Amino acid sequence: MRTGKKTALTLIIGAMLGFALSFGSGVLAQREPPRDSLPWDEARLLSEVLERVRQEYVEPLEDRDLIEGAVRGLVTELDPHSQFLDSNQYEEIRINSSGNYSGVGLEVSLDSDRVRVVAPIEGSPAALAGIRPGDQILSINNFDMSPANANKTVGLMRGKPGTEVHIRIARNSEAEPINFTLIRSHVQVNSVSANLLETDYGYVRISHFSDTTYADMRDALDELRHDNHGQLKGLLLDLRNNPGGVLDAAVDVSDAFLDSGTIVSASGRAVDASFRHEATEGDLVDGARMVVLVNKGSASASEIVAGALQDNNRALIAGVRTFGKGSVQTVIPLSSGRAIKLTTSLYFTPSGVSIHGEGISPDTRIEADKIADRQAGVNSHFTNKALALLQTDSQLQAAMNLLKEPRLLQSNAVH
């Protein structure tokens, strides 16, 4: 397994999924400022416009806001993934990539202009207090969660450990709102969950790629082997709706199941923007059969893992075509805690294919809404949690059939 980490932190992401725990794409890297002189003749236009706006716009504006707005526009015009980051946005990316922060431990989403709880993080203050998935957040510290200010939800919940947060929620089963007083604490966001689907068959879901993902997955596989009383015969890796994250984590997860071969390569203009990652010997599941589930919400880092396992003939890719984001962003720190997130590389699958705008085509297509009710050999060997998954998730049912029946691994369609 790869144990070393580059100084730069590489993040890659596709579609923005969710609200509170969505990731920004990029690479945290220290870069020296460019030494080439600024072309002042061309820059005169920017100076002239700034000065006109400063003097003649209908309302007075702060110089800082004008400059930041100009920089933001310059960067966002490059491509959909480049972005100027103020100090709060930069800190959010650093928090998300590290997988831990101080707060109450709620994952939330904006649903029809309402802030709803997706899930409380296990062991967090919110989970211990009894906040449930589906609860609607009405206010935080008496600050109403209207559509206009719902984007402030995350900032209001985070803060120094030991400080109070007052949350008012509405619950469908309750006639009146419920008030919670939570004490902020350190929260660890685990990107990996796992279940033993059936004797000898494991299920691992990766929701995003952070610094801790590889270690969390390794520990999850150890637990699966312990619960199974031995090595697994098959593993179902679920990357559906995984928008990406840290590049090194995607490389490590891929390497975890490969003994050799290219994982990913990239090409760019900067010195460190062109690279190639090769797999090292060692397979955490000792060659057990693998099916990887993907959908249109699987992007960037997820596509790197799917492409590496597909091109190296290590796993069958099942589901529907992925999002198709084949670029790498670098987060370059600036002064006063700010940064720019800049597209610096295009990456390629082991076969040398760019999936940008195309996505990865599954070996076996499984449409979630076209699968007839089918049983995946449900029996007493299933845990209650795994049984619930298989009873409600038709794609998972079909993927489990593929995993258990090797002859189906050669099929290119499931109807």
Give residue 140's pLDDT. 94
Whether residues 262 and 405 fall in one domain: yes
Range of the domain at 372: 192-328+345-410
Say how far apart CA 255 and CA 248 lie, in whole Å.
10
- Is there a single domain that holds both residue 141 and residue 203? no
- Angstrom distance (rounded) from CA 41 to CA 415: 63
Q: How far apart are CA 283 and CA 232, in angstroms?
A: 12
pTM equals 0.74
Triad 341, 347, 350: Cα angle to 5°: 155
Query: 39 and 119 share a domain?
Result: no
pLDDT, tens only, 311-325: 999 999 999 999 999
**Which CATH number fits the domain that encloses residue 159?**
2.30.42.10
Does the residue 1 lie in any domain?
no
Within this chain, do residues 111 and 142 fall inside the same structural domain, yes or no? Answer: yes
| CATH code of residue 284 | 3.90.226.10
Instruction: Among 97, 131, 154, give the residue marking a domain's end.
Output: 97
Average confidence (pLDDT) over 373-391: 50
Q: Please report whether residue 338 resides in a domain.
A: no
Q: Is 249 in the same domain as 141?
A: no
Spatial contact of 23 and 11, defined as CB atoms under 8 Å apart:
yes
pLDDT 10s digits, 101-142: 788 988 776 666 788 886 677 778 998 999 987 899 999 999
Q: How far is CA 95 from CA 92, 207, 259, in A?
A: 5, 16, 32
pLDDT tens-digit map of 51-107: 999 999 999 999 988 988 899 999 989 988 898 988 878 887 777 677 677 889 887
Q: Can you tell me the distance from the alpha carbon of 170 to that of 143, in angstroms, rounded to the nearest whole number?
A: 15
Residue 50 lies in a domain: yes
Residue 336 domain-assigned (yes or no): no
State whether 109 and 82 are in the same domain: no
87 alpha carbon, distance to own chain's centre: 21
**What H or E segment, with its residue span, contains residue 182?**
strand 178-183
Q: Are residues 180 and 219 in the same domain?
A: no
Do 135 and 251 sit in the same domain of this protein?
no
One domain, residues 122 and 57:
no
Residue 335 lies in a domain: no
Question: Which residues are part of the catalytic machinery?
Answer: 300, 311, 325
Q: State residue 35's pLDDT score.
A: 53
pLDDT at residue 413 tops 80: no
DSSP alpha helix (H) spans, 111-264? 125-129, 153-157, 213-228, 247-255
Would 213 be classed as within a structural domain? Answer: yes
Is residue 379's pLDDT more than 50?
no
Angle at which helix 301-311 crosses helix 247-255, to 10 degrees, equals 30
Q: Could you tell me if 211 and 358 lie in one domain?
A: yes
If you average pLDDT over residues 392-403, what whole number do you get?
89
Residue 292 lies in a domain: yes
* Domain assignment present for 152: yes
| pLDDT tens-digit readout, 335-378 | 889 999 999 999 999 999 999 989 999 999 998 754 333 333 33
- The count of structural domains within the chain is 3
Shared domain for 157 and 204, answered yes or no, is no
Q: Mark whether 215 and 317 lie in a shared domain.
A: yes
